Amino acid sequence: MKQRLRSDIKKEDTWDLEAIYKDVQAFMKDYNELKEEMDKIVEYKGRILENAKTLLEFLKTSDELERKLYKLFYYANLNFDADTTNAKSQELIGMISKLMTDYSTKIAFVTPELLKGDYKTIEKYYQDEPNLLQYKFNLECIYRYKEHTLSEAEEKVLSALSDSLGSSEDIYEALTDSDITFGNIKVDGKEIELTESNYQTFIESKDRDVRKQAFDTLFTTYGKYKNTIANTFKYNVETNEKIAKLRNYNSAMEASLYSDNISVLIYDNLIKTVRENLDALYDYYDLKKEVLGLDEIHLYDIYANMVSSVDKKYTFEEAKETVLEGLSVLGDNYHKKLERAFNERFIDIYNNKGKRGGAYSSGFYDTNPYILLNFEGKYNDVTTLAHELGHSMHTLYSCENNPFNTSSYRIFVAEVASTVNELILVKYLLKKTEDKNEKLFLLNKLLELFKGTIFRQTMFAEFEKEMYEKNAHGVILTNEFLSQEYYKLVKDYFGKNVVCDELIKNEWMRIPHFYYDFYVYKYAIGLSAACKIVHDIETKGNDSVDKYLSFLKTGGSMFPASELKVCDVDISNPKFIEDAIEMFRNIIKEFREIYRK
């Protein structure tokens, strides 16, 4: 079908950005005012800490400017994502990008100037000016870095070299996004070019030959670039390790976890707990082998769907009612906020020419938490709606219950709220349906979620940890070494009943998250935490709902581990991971019982 133009979409099916600015003229008024006002921040250079009153004035001025800046930012970006072909939207996003760069340059002095002082001075200022206590957590977060901050001259050198030191990710992206081509595979007698974008479609194909072609072609191609990617990875590891040591961290991992105040022990507990429960994953692959009717299961078989997609279409109104009913377990207050999302047009529903693909939730203190969808009426569109509403409700609760300076929650906890919604919805749909195939379809979706998030991401996390440790002990990270170590890890995680085709040794080369530096473990922790929350809501009712809503209200006022404790998730104790894997075992059991009937 031909894509509709933005002008063809009904107004009620688009998000209401007039709630941010009535029109471009109102945007331009704020934009021009902010350009003039930004120099206010520079007036505090050299005097932020001269007394409690000045510090408070500075922090309030910073808040005021940033609120205006981000209001402009979201209006420009949301308009652009709705139609990237619109010339005016392109102009606005260019203007706001430059403005944000200018603001970043103007405030570059702030953190170094604060860190020249002593936190004991700040503690005295709390007594002199009690209103400063509103910023206590923010200031504590800054001063935590004092022991990891170098001299002014050293910091200038690192800052000047920051682009070069961070170039590994840019080089990797340029190579994998632009330069690598994979060639063709044959599908239904036709030659089709394989890309990273369509690989997932072919590796899930019912046709085993198509799956094998896609697998072989993709990983053979990556193997041709093995030395370039290995060197890129190696220099990224070495750079992060050297910077970490310069900044007085014990390791690059410790440096990466520091911003969230996460102990290395939590990372290690995840790997240890998952490894101790790999038999659950082996059982899943045994089930898949049985359902697919294979004599032996290869790595190119593991993404094949055990159940065909249910032939069920949803109108958006049906999706809305399904989500509202499914999430009603979260109580009246949460339900009213969900209704606001629909009634006040937080959601941009349908695809149009020039609209950004995928889905997201985006908003902040002075806007609605808007949701971009490309709704086509499939089951995945319904779960995506629930998922993104989880993010939006998190934003609403955070912003309504915190001042601006502590209203933004961290990425570490962001996926918890969205995954809670997803799990609750699937469990609701499972109870609602009597159709055997639909039940199997829903259970299969859950199994894929657990496999891909807890087990696969933990395998990546372990590989990353091991390679940094090997480098720290003087091992040269050659392509041969990286590939063999990855291959050994794959064989551990897939077990003896899965044929680990040797080409999988090249898979580490296609994982961009290895350049995000100790990031992937957050996915596994997030899903495990969500499982605990959902289980508590199912078994303990309103008390657990109240605790969960209290967690959503914390915003950015605490570190992630403390926030999760509000809803009884203790990430320092690996039991919540064990319980999540037990849930995975029970889903396998339920699937097997229904399938064999």
| pLDDT tens per residue, range 419-437 | 999 999 999 999 999 999 9
> Hey, is 107 helix, strand or coil?
coil
Residue ranges of the chain whose pLDDT lies below 50: none
CA dihedral sign of residues 459, 463, 465, 466: positive
Candidates 78, 118, 71; CA nearest to 99 is: 71
> Does residue 200 lie in a domain region?
no
Domain termination site, one of 118, 149, 180: 149
Q: Which of 388, 438, 462, 507 is catalytic?
A: 388
Check which CATH number belongs to the domain holding 108 and give it. Answer: 1.20.140.70
Whether the Cβ atoms of residue 555 and residue 409 lie closer than 8 Å to each other: yes
pLDDT digits (tens, 9 = 90+) for 178-223: 899 999 999 999 999 999 989 999 999 999 999 999 999 999 999 9
Q: According to the model, what pLDDT value does residue 244 have?
A: 96
Domain termination site, one of 369, 399, 433: 433
> Does residue 107 lie in a domain region?
yes
* CA 172 to the chain's CA centroid: 20
Q: According to the model, what pLDDT value does residue 452 have?
A: 96
Domain termination site, one of 120, 149, 178: 149
Q: How far apart are CA 498 and CA 294, in angstroms?
A: 11
Q: Which two tokens stand for residue 358?
A: 């995928």
> Does residue 140 lie in a domain region?
yes
Whether the Cβ atoms of residue 77 and residue 362 lie closer than 8 Å to each other: yes
Whether the Cβ atoms of residue 79 and residue 92 lie closer than 8 Å to each other: yes
Q: According to the model, what pLDDT value does residue 152 have?
A: 80
> Does residue 403 lie in a domain region?
yes
Q: How far apart are CA 410 and CA 432, in angstroms?
A: 35
Q: According to the model, what pLDDT value does residue 217 have?
A: 97
480 catalytic residue (yes or no)? no
> Does residue 81 lie in a domain region?
yes
> Does residue 79 lie in a domain region?
yes
Q: How far apart are CA 56 and CA 134, in angstroms?
A: 10
Q: According to the model, what pLDDT value does residue 310 have?
A: 73
Q: How far apart are CA 570 and CA 572, in angstroms?
A: 5
Whether the Cβ atoms of residue 14 and residue 81 lie closer than 8 Å to each other: no
Structurally, the chain folds into a number of domains equal to 2
Place of tokens 């790997």: 271
Q: Are strands 347-348 and 498-499 parallel, antiparallel or unpaired?
A: unpaired
Whether the Cβ atoms of residue 351 and residue 3 lie closer than 8 Å to each other: yes
Reading across the β-sheet that carries 360-362, which strands appear in turn? 347-348, 370-372, 360-362
Q: Domain range spanning residue 104?
A: 6-149
> Does residue 88 lie in a domain region?
yes
> Does residue 18 lie in a domain region?
yes
417: left (phi over 0), alpha (psi -120 to 50) or beta: alpha
Question: In 473-541, which residue ranges form alpha helices assigned H by DSSP?
Answer: 479-494, 521-540
